């Protein structure tokens, strides 16, 4: 039995007309005799509406009830898709996570799928039905509804593809695929035909909004190819796959950026073993995500200046945690907001010398000052002023010939 998993994002099911369009896409696969499992997000805007309601009810809304509340959006969209398919004469029904069940573990709001029971869905597929499964959610061992991280319907689709040994996992969204950079800012941004899991993981974690990083990691670990396509235009999308399936590489595959970074610098930190751990432990325990880290040690080795970046929304929490941390001693805290991280990504840079020089030279020509630098095997990131992002990514896009 050849199974295809189709996942539709919030914009793809954002209105009645769009849901009718989605039903037509599903019907195309049914006509080709494919066994189709559909995974749907909530209609665009619905989850945010539920979140706003929870905030009006309580400043400390229970996480378990939060998951019950926000999971309702997918239930609505799945029922509407199924209703339209039945209208077209296609046997279909919605499947809520607990009806399958999709088993999760971990905290509410950030659970992970650990098992999917297959028998009920397989029997329904064999009977000629098209199951429409709620994404973004599961059920834990206490029989409570749980949700994955925001954007978690991608993870739902990938894990369903894994457990049902699907031939394909196709992510339908509002863009035609993955681009070399944001096409809204870079007029000459090009759609990428194939991209490796590693490159896509870097791009998604560094600001590209096409897919959630956790879902890319799930696909990479389980070696599931993902096809990202538009639900609005019938064109070839982008294949996310393993490196050996890509014959040729450009040195750089894409340029990504973030918009809401803040730089924190602790001046005159007393340098001793374990000081970095003492700084970052309370931040980790309070869900503050620390990104770029740079340490400058004084010539006598007694003090160090330690710089790291966080998201803007964590400024007050971070400052408070640092000031009440009795395990560390420092002279001052400097906080600089309105920064952005710009990154170039590409597995080709592993074997290509001079990439770092070319990046810095391109930015220098545009008078763009670099405040922090971080690197990995396939990525170089720099921290710059937020108002220079467009100029920076245009310069880098041109320098590495990404428009061709």
Both 31 and 157 in one domain: the answer is: yes
What's the pLDDT score for residue 299? 66
What's the pLDDT score for residue 295? 87
CA-CA distance, 93 to 128, in Å (whole number)? 11
Does residue 185 sit within a domain? no
CA-CA distance, 276 to 243, in Å (whole number)? 35
CA-CA distance, 80 to 42, in Å (whole number)? 11
CA-CA distance, 284 to 274, in Å (whole number)? 15
What's the pLDDT score for residue 302? 78
pLDDT of 300 strictly over 80: no
Both 283 and 170 in one domain: the answer is: no
What's the pLDDT score for residue 150? 80
pLDDT, tens digit (0-9, with 9 covering 90-100), for 356-395: 999 999 999 999 999 999 998 899 999 999 999 999 999 9
Both 48 and 165 in one domain: the answer is: yes
Mean pLDDT of the chain: 92
CA-CA distance, 139 to 124, in Å (whole number)? 21
CA-CA distance, 2 to 168, in Å (whole number)? 9
Does residue 355 sit within a domain? yes
| Tokens found for residue 193 | 């035909």
- Quick one: 404 exposed, middle or buried, by C-beta within 10 A (0-12, 13-18, 19+)? exposed
Last residue of a domain, one of 139, 174, 209: 174
What's the pLDDT score for residue 183? 85
Last residue of a domain, one of 159, 174, 189: 174
Please give the share of the chain, as a percent, with pLDDT higher than 70.
Answer: 98
pLDDT of 216 strictly over 70: yes
Both 24 and 116 in one domain: the answer is: yes
What's the pLDDT score for residue 243? 84
Does residue 197 sit within a domain? no
For residue 387, the domain's CATH number is 3.30.2130.10
What's the pLDDT score for residue 288? 92
What's the pLDDT score for residue 66? 97
Does residue 38 sit within a domain? yes
Does residue 126 sit within a domain? yes
Both 377 and 274 in one domain: the answer is: yes
What's the pLDDT score for residue 188? 87
For residue 66, the domain's CATH number is 3.40.1160.10
What's the pLDDT score for residue 248? 67
Cβ pair 383, 340 in contact under 8 A: yes
What is the β-pairing status of strands 35-40 and 130-134?
parallel
pLDDT of 324 strictly over 90: yes
Does residue 284 sit within a domain? yes
Counted domains in the chain: 2
CA-CA distance, 15 to 43, in Å (whole number)? 7
What's the pLDDT score for residue 403? 82
What's the pLDDT score for residue 272? 82
Cβ pair 39, 226 in contact under 8 A: no
Last residue of a domain, one of 140, 174, 208: 174
Does residue 196 sit within a domain? no
pLDDT of 5 strictly over 70: yes
The DSSP letter of residue 312 is G
The pTM assigned to this predicted structure is 0.84
Both 162 and 302 in one domain: the answer is: no
Is the link from the previous residue into 175 a cis peptide, with omega within 30 of 0?
no
pLDDT, tens digit (0-9, with 9 covering 90-100), for 144-202: 999 998 889 999 999 999 999 998 899 999 889 999 998 888 888 999 999 999 999 88
> 355 CB contacts (<8 Å, ≥6 apart)?
251, 252, 344, 349, 380
Both 157 and 274 in one domain: the answer is: no
Does residue 360 sit within a domain? yes
In the beta sheet, which residues pair with residue 102? 116
Q: Which domain holds residue 331?
A: 257-399
């Amino acid at each position: 039995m050849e199974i295809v998993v189709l996942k539709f994002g919030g914009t793809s099911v954002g209105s009645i007309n769009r849901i009718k369009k989605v039903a037509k896409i599903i019907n195309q696969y049914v006509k080709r005799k494919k066994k189709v499992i559909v995974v749907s997000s909530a209609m665009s805007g619905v989850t945010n509406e539920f979140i706003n309601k929870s905030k009006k009810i309580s400043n400390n809304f229970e996480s378990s009830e939060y998951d019950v509340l926000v999971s309702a959006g997918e239930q609505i969209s799945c029922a509407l898709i199924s209703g339209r398919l039945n209208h077209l004469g296609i046997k279909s029904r919605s499947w809520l996570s607990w009806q399958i069940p999709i088993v999760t573990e971990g905290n509410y709001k950030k659970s992970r799928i650990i098992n999917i029971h297959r028998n009920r869905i397989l029997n329904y597929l064999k009977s000629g039905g098209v199951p429409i499964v709620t994404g973004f959610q599961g059920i834990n061992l206490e029989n409570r509804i749980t949700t994955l991280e925001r954007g978690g319907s991608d993870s739902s689709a990938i894990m369903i593809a894994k457990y049902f040994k699907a031939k394909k996992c196709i992510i339908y969204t509002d863009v035609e695929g993955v681009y070399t950079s944001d096409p809204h800012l870079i007029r000459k941004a090009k759609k990428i035909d194939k991209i490796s899991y590693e490159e896509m993981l870097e791009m998604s974690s560094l600001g590209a909004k096409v897919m959630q990083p956790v879902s890319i990691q799930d696909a990479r670990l389980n070696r599931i190819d993902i096809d990202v396509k538009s639900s609005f235009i019938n064109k070839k999308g982008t294949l996310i796959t393993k490196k050996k399936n890509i014959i040729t590489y450009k040195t750089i595959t894409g340029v990504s950026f973030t918009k809401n970074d803040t730089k924190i610098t602790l001046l005159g930190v007393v340098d001793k073993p374990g000081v970095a751990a003492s700084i970052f432990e309370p931040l980790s325990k309070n869900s503050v995500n620390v990104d770029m880290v740079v340490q400058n040690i004084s010539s006598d080795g007694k003090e160090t200046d330690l710089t790291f970046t966080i998201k803007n929304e964590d400024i007050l929490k971070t400052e408070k945690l640092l000031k009440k941390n009795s395990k560390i001693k420092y002279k001052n805290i400097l906080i600089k907001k309105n920064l952005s991280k710009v990154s170039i990504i590409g597995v080709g840079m592993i074997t290509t010398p001079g990439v770092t020089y070319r990046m810095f030279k391109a930015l220098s020509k545009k008078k763009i000052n670099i405040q922090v630098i971080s690197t990995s095997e396939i990525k170089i990131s720099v921290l710059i002023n937020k108002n220079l992002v467009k100029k920076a990514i245009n310069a880098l896009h041109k320098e590495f010939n990404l428009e061709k």
